Amino acid sequence: MLEQLDYAVQLGVLATPALAIDGKLCFTGLPSVKKLRKLLDNTLKAK
C-alpha cells in the first residue's frame, strides 16, 4: 500500500480521483466520457 502511495506521488497525484495511463498522469478529477474515450483511442493508436 505504501509503495502505491509513493508511486502516486511520483506521478503528481495530489488528490483523488486521478487517472494515470502508462505512468503518465492524464486526469485529476473525473474526465467526461468523450475526453476519456479520446485519450484511450489515442493511446491505443500510438502503440
20, 26 in Cβ contact below 8 A? yes
pLDDT confidence bin for 11, thresholds 50/70/90: very high
Q: What's the number of domains the chain is made of? A: 1
Structural domain span for residue 38 = 2-46
Q: Tens digit of pLDDT for each residue in 12-47? A: 998 899 999 999 999 999 999 999 999 999 999 998
Residue 14, pLDDT score: 87
Contacts of 21 (CB under 8 A, 6+ apart): 39, 40, 43
Is the whole-model pTM more than 0.85? no
